[in-house]
Amino acid sequence: MVRQFRDEELNYFKFASIVLNEFPKALRHTFKFMWDNKFGPANLWDDSVAARKSFLAKEAGRTKVPTNKSYMEWDCTALFQATIYAQCFALPGSKGHYKTLSDIYVRPLGLPHGSLHASVVSPSGNYAETFTLAIDQLRLLRNLLCHSTSCEMDKITFDQCLQHAKDAFKALGLKTDAIDEVGNLTESRFPTKEVAMLERKNRIMQFVLFN
């Protein structure tokens, strides 16, 4: 017998599909864009051993990013570390000391645990702030999935999460077609094999985050 999903279950698995499959692609694209924008054209990111060693050197030889692996293997956690928590993208703070993008633009907001950014667009039009808030929004949405206590999501929450994800993608200059496509999937078009894979990926991600 083919398993029948209730709407709330289908919403959860569609959201999980977006977080686990589309977020890493978006973050890799964003990392490369940020790197090339700052260190190019002399040192464009080509994912070579030399490029990854260059990143490691800019982190003073200490990073949670697995630079021994291709960035195509970096998961969301590694990509957050490689962008908004990375020393190589640090900027001078108000007192002149260099701080990570997260320290400058996210930490001062004091966002309550479990909350999302109401907007990812910088109020002052600051390009770095917008990018930071958009990346952090993806981190918060990923955490929302990881901290979920059940494989269900009501329509209101699902629609809000998708809109937040789309806003973050747009702020990063990325297309939202993949999000729309998954968001519009019906039960008949969402394969049970995909659900099993998502459940497995989600368990692995939760283990990595909480251990």
- SS3 string, 19-52, reads HHHHHHHHHHHHHHHHHHHHHCCCCCCCCCHHHH
pLDDT at position 2 over 50? no
Contact 20, 198 (CB under 8 A): yes
Domain ranges of the chain: 7-210
Question: How much is the pTM?
Answer: 0.89
Q: Is the peptide bond before 191 cis (omega within 30 degrees of 0)?
A: no
Q: Higher-confidence residue: 3 or 31?
A: 31
The predicted model gives 72-99 an average pLDDT of: 94
pLDDT recorded at residue 1: 41
For 77, the 3-state DSSP assignment is helix
Q: Cβ neighbours of residue 127 under 8 Å, at least 6 residues apart?
A: none
pLDDT at position 187 over 70? no
Write the CA distances from 163 to 53, 168, 169, 179, integer angstroms. Answer: 37, 9, 10, 9
| DSSP string for 168-185 | HHHHTT---HHHHHHHT-
Give the DSSP H/E element, type plus range, for residue 98.
strand 98-99
pLDDT at position 128 over 80? yes
The predicted model gives 134-148 an average pLDDT of: 95
pLDDT recorded at residue 44: 97
Give the DSSP H/E element, type plus range, for residue 16.
helix 7-17
